[in-house]
């Protein structure tokens, strides 16, 4: 049977483990305890949609040296056995009396000295995917070992994509071809909910393994927000339609926002689209490794302001890869240094009128000499449907 | 614009709030702090796929009396404003210095007396969807208020579905019509990955808003596991194909496993399918409110054993509704009392040979006089493709 662990060769997982261990050493961590789909996939190759069920926790421990150890429910043993990780310890979950806590504690006691420090991602953009009461029990069980914040080690490593990862993300970004088909199914009179449905079908047809995220909006001269599910309102002459997707292929995401005018756009809409394109241009030509995330925000925001438009209040881009959004955030407050190999989205947003916005998003990898687009860029001119 | 909060009328949210507050009173809780997509949707009507981005935490507080309060990132204000909740407090997220902690602490200080107890779901099948370091900060900020386990209150209320919810889940279960189309696209020679793609398209075409979960397997005389993503192996004569879906409509899940023989099945496979059907029958006729989840497990497991087959090791069904799987779990260890209005899956599994299993799953609501199927049942005879 073709083997999903072969998404990457063993050498890639060894590289990742080594990179994590080097970061762990600088933070004096004796182990990392990982619990989320992205971190488990990153360290072992274990890729499944079964995370959708909140019933069972899953654990990977990265020791200070040696390979990661998986402590997982029995139901995952077959799939994990086909992945890179060889040390797999299982329990029969869900178990209301002891849902892996004893097995995890025993494993940590095996791997971590009794005065050791165990890193757990606790910082921004993280959460602990296990019952909090079980984590408190675990703390007691493995004391005097302590749990400390391991976010930096995970974040600094995952932020920099290998060429193998960049190739994967590029393949996912090729799903943007589905946007070319939007005029086939988004017509005046088509309910937005039908457009969302057909867009998901177009993404699957283009080669997505699954579609984890579709959002968007449509409204006269702009839309109100970008996170709502579709309603059944039919597209109308004068609407701007935006479709945002996080489709997945081999476990890696793309993340695009693209716009369409339904019928001839107003001057304000056309100008807003031009501003979004120009702000993306500004970032594409100016971004360099060594800048900070807040510098990227400033470059995009300044380009919008220079064009006489009003920039959106939210972030103007973010990391991308194993999840729809990753560190860093392109905001005025994020001081993360941008480094070669980071995959980022550039997501300028403008406010056309109160409650009327437009956003646009492209995906890049940052190279030594600046950004490289990961897919064919959206057209400079706002596409018009039914003109 | 049609309003997604209108998935349910305000009276339904008032009923939920009242039911939570009654449970909170029995546990002496002065508030509940909720952080997950299911709990936020349940209490406010706020439905979005934006949870896919791990960047921002979202909070709902259910006070001991009065309506829930939403403490959320600004990006969600527009959508939350169209929902039932009226008290909405926002901050500009993500903020690496203070990602809502101060605003949340202030709000808790408003709503909870200084010696108060704040329930947070910490138990089985839960997790806290916010950075752990921020939760620790929050604990310090709102002391001497304490956080205690609020799982029971949330679980006991969410477990019992209202007639409005049952109607919604029934509509989602009607998506099982997509299974009728499987023989159109699953043929000898079709790669399993293509089958998964076409099945997702069939679910969307049948009316799914999105497809949060598709898994399954195919193999000679049974499959090896039920959580793996699809590989590219072509379906072959003698395979058993299983497709498992958790599709979503209006925020509610269905969860089915259904099987197909590729070419004429072996006697062992046919017998296994008969056993799965008979075990489902046993549960459909015997389950009653007042039994425990472990009784349901025993009824299904006994039916399998009586038929001379070997039952799978995992759970044999579970709750269903706002997430793909919910409390309770049909295992020998789960002592949850089954109550009228619970929506459950019946999921018998048999081991045909070492590493060869078959599973089957139907969705029911438990009524006073026993189970009521939420969709047309799978055929008693294993469907054969390409015979």
CATH of the domain at B56: 3.40.350.10
Tokens representing A372? Answer: 């490289």
What percent of chain A is helix, strand and coil (3-state, nearest 5)?
35, 25, 35
Query: Chain B contacts of A175, Cβ < 8 Å?
Result: none
User: B167 and B152 in one domain?
Assistant: no
In this prediction, residue B387 carries a pLDDT of 67
Tokens representing B304? Answer: 């399998």
User: A354 and A233 in one domain?
Assistant: yes
- Chain B residue with CA closest to A327: the answer is B55
User: A379 and A230 in one domain?
Assistant: yes
Q: Give the residue from B94, B129, B159 where a domain finishes.
A: B159
**pLDDT tens sequence for chain A (387 residues):** 344 447 899 999 999 999 999 999 999 999 999 999 999 999 999 999 999 999 999 999 999 999 999 999 999 999 999 999 999 999 999 999 999 999 999 999 999 999 999 999 999 999 999 999 999 999 999 999 999 999 999 999 999 999 999 999 999 999 999 999 999 999 999 999 999 999 999 999 999 999 999 999 999 999 998 999 999 999 999 999 999 999 999 999 999 999 999 999 999 999 999 999 999 999 999 999 999 999 999 999 999 999 999 997 789 999 999 999 999 999 999 999 999 999 999 999 999 999 899 999 999 999 999 999 998 999 999 999 986
User: B69 and B150 in one domain?
Assistant: yes
Q: Which of B99, B124, B196 sits opposite A99 (nearest CB)?
A: B124
A66 exposed, middle or buried (CB, 10 Å; 0-12, 13-18, 19+)?
Answer: exposed
User: B140 and B15 in one domain?
Assistant: yes
Looking at residues B20-39, what average pLDDT do you find?
Answer: 98
In this prediction, residue B43 carries a pLDDT of 98
Contact B74 A314 (CB under 8 A): yes
Looking at residues B117-129, what average pLDDT do you find?
Answer: 98
Answer yes or no: is pLDDT of B2 > 50.
Answer: no
pLDDT class for B47, splitting at 50, 70, 90? Answer: very high
User: B196 and B128 in one domain?
Assistant: no
CA B308 → CA A90, B76, B265, B276, distances in Å? 28, 55, 19, 12
CB A209, CB B229: distance < 8 Å: yes
Residue B218: enclosing H or E segment and its boundaries?
strand B210-220
Rg (CA), chain B: 23
In this prediction, residue A159 carries a pLDDT of 98
Handedness of CA B43, B49, B52, B55 (dihedral sign): negative
Q: Which CATH number do you get for residue A349?
A: 3.90.230.10
Angle in degrees, 0-180, between the axes of helices B151-159 and B10-26, rounded to the nearest 10: 140
CA A59 → CA A27, A62, A91, A244, distances in Å? 21, 10, 11, 32
What's the structural domain count of chain A? 2
User: A239 and A309 in one domain?
Assistant: yes
What are phi and psi for residue A111, nearest 5 degrees?
-100, -20
Assess whether the previous peptide bond of A181 is cis (omega < 30° from 0).
no
User: A375 and A256 in one domain?
Assistant: yes
Q: Give the residue from B96, B127, B159 where a domain finishes.
A: B159
User: A131 and A220 in one domain?
Assistant: no
How far is residue B166's CA from residue A257's CA, in Å, rounded to a whole number? 35
Query: Chain A contacts of B2, Cβ < 8 Å?
Result: 231-233
- Tell me which of B59, B94, B292, B355 to substitute to probe the interface with A (most A C-beta atoms closer than 10 Å): B94
User: A353 and A317 in one domain?
Assistant: yes
Contact A94 B331 (CB under 8 A): yes
Answer yes or no: is pLDDT of B241 > 60.
Answer: yes
Instruction: Reduce the DSSP state of residue A228 to 3 states and report it.
Output: coil
Q: Give the residue from B159, B190, B211 where a domain finishes.
A: B159
User: B91 and B231 in one domain?
Assistant: no
ipTM passes above 0.90 = yes
Looking at residues B284-311, what average pLDDT do you find?
Answer: 97
What are the tens digits of pLDDT across the range B358-378? 999 999 999 999 999 998 999
Answer yes or no: is pLDDT of B314 > 80.
Answer: yes
Q: Which domain holds residue A64?
A: 4-158
Question: Rounded to an integer, what is the distance from CA A374 to the centroid of its chain?
Answer: 15
Query: Chain B contacts of A194, Cβ < 8 Å?
Result: none
- Tell me which of A227, A236, A252, A316 to substitute to probe the interface with B (most B C-beta atoms closer than 10 Å): A227
How far is residue B357's CA from residue A69's CA, in Å, rounded to a whole number? 27
User: B116 and B181 in one domain?
Assistant: no
């Amino acid at each position: 049977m073709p083997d999903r662990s072969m998404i990457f060769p063993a050498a890639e997982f060894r590289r990742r483990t080594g990179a994590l261990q080097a970061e762990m050493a600088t933070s004096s961590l004796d182990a990392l305890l990982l619990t989320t789909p992205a971190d488990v996939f990153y360290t072992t190759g274990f890729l499944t949609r079964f995370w959708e069920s909140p019933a069972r926790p899953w654990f990977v421990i990265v020791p200070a040296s040696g390979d990661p150890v998986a402590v997982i429910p029995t139901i995952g043993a077959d799939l994990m056995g086909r992945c890179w990780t060889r040390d797999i310890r299982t329990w029969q979950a869900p178990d209301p009396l002891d849902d892996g806590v004893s097995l995890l504690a025993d494993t940590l006691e095996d791997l971590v000295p009794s005065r050791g420090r165990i890193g757990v991602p606790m910082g921004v953009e993280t959460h602990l995917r296990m019952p909090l009461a079980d984590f408190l029990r675990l703390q007691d069980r493995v004391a005097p070992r302590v749990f400390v914040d391991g976010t930096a080690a995970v974040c600094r490593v995952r932020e920099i994509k290998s060429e193998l990862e960049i190739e994967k993300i590029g393949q996912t970004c090729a799903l943007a071809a589905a946007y070319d088909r939007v005029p086939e199914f988004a017509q005046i009179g088509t309910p937005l909910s039908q457009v969302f449905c057909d867009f998901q079908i177009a993404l699957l047809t283009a080669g997505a393994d699954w579609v984890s995220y579709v959002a968007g909006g449509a409204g006269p001269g702009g839309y109100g927000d970008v996170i709502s599910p579709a309603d059944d309102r039919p597209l109308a002459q004068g609407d701007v339609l935006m479709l945002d997707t996080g489709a997945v292929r081999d476990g890696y995401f793309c993340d695009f926002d693209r716009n369409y005018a339904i019928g001839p756009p107003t001057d304000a809409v056309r100008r807003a689209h031009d501003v979004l394109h120009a702000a993306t241009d500004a970032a594409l030509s100016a971004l360099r490794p060594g800048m900070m995330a807040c510098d990227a925000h400033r470059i995009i925001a300044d380009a919008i302001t220079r064009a006489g438009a009003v920039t959106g209040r939210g972030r103007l881009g973010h990391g991308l890869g194993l999840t729809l959004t990753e560190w860093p955030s392109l905001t005025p407050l994020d001081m993360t240094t941008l480094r070669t190999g980071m995959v980022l989205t550039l997501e300028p947003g403008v406010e056309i009128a109160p409650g009327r916005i437009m956003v646009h998003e492209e995906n890049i990898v940052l190279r030594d000499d600046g950004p490289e687009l990961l897919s064919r860029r959206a057209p400079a001119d706002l596409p018009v449907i039914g003109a």
